[in-house]
Amino acid sequence: MNTELEIIATLGPGVVDKISELISAGTTAFRLNCSHLSLESVSQWLVKIEKAFRKTNTSIPLWLDLQGAKLRIGKLIKPLKLAKGSVVTFVPNYSQLGDEIPLPHKKVFEKIQPYNKISLNDGRIILDVQQTGDETIKAKVLNDGEISSFKGFNIDGYEDHLSEIFSRDLAFIEQTVKYENVGYAVSYIQTAEEVQLVREYSGNRPITSKIERLKTFDGLREIAECSDALWLCRGDLGVEANIYNLFHFEKVFIQRLLLIEKPYLIAGQVLENMVRNPNPSRSEIAHLGYLIENGFKGVVLSDETAIGKHPVKAVEFCHDYFKFLMNL
Distance of alpha carbon 190 from alpha carbon 183, whole angstroms: 19
Instruction: Please determine, for residue 164, whether its predicted confidence score (pLDDT) is greater than 70.
Output: no
Q: Is 63 helix (H, G, I), strand (E, B) or coil?
A: strand
Q: Where are the chain's structural domains?
A: 6-70+163-326, 80-155
Give me Rg for the CA atoms of the chain. 19
Task: Report the half-sphere exposure of 196 (CA within 13 A, side-chain side).
Answer: 7
- pLDDT per position as a tens digit, 227-265: 999 999 988 787 777 788 888 989 999 988 887 889 999
Choosing among 3.20.20.60, 3.40.47.10, 3.40.140.10, 3.65.10.10, the CATH entry for 6-70+163-326 is: 3.20.20.60
Pairing relationship of beta strands 80-82 and 145-147 according to DSSP bridges: antiparallel
- Is residue 42 within 8 Å of residue 175, measured between CB atoms? yes
Same fold, 6-70+163-326 and 80-155: no
End-to-end Cα distance, the chain: 9
- Is residue 55 within 8 Å of residue 20, measured between CB atoms? yes
Instruction: Please determine, for residue 267, whether its predicted confidence score (pLDDT) is greater than 70.
Output: yes
Choosing among 2.40.33.10, 3.30.70.260, 1.10.760.10, 3.30.750.24, the CATH entry for 80-155 is: 2.40.33.10
DSSP 124: T
- pLDDT per position as a tens digit, 133-152: 989 999 999 999 999 988 88
- Is residue 97 within 8 Å of residue 74, measured between CB atoms? no
Instruction: Please determine, for residue 75, whether its predicted confidence score (pLDDT) is greater than 80.
Output: yes
Instruction: Please determine, for residue 324, whether its predicted confidence score (pLDDT) is greater than 70.
Output: yes
pLDDT given for residue 1 in this prediction: 40
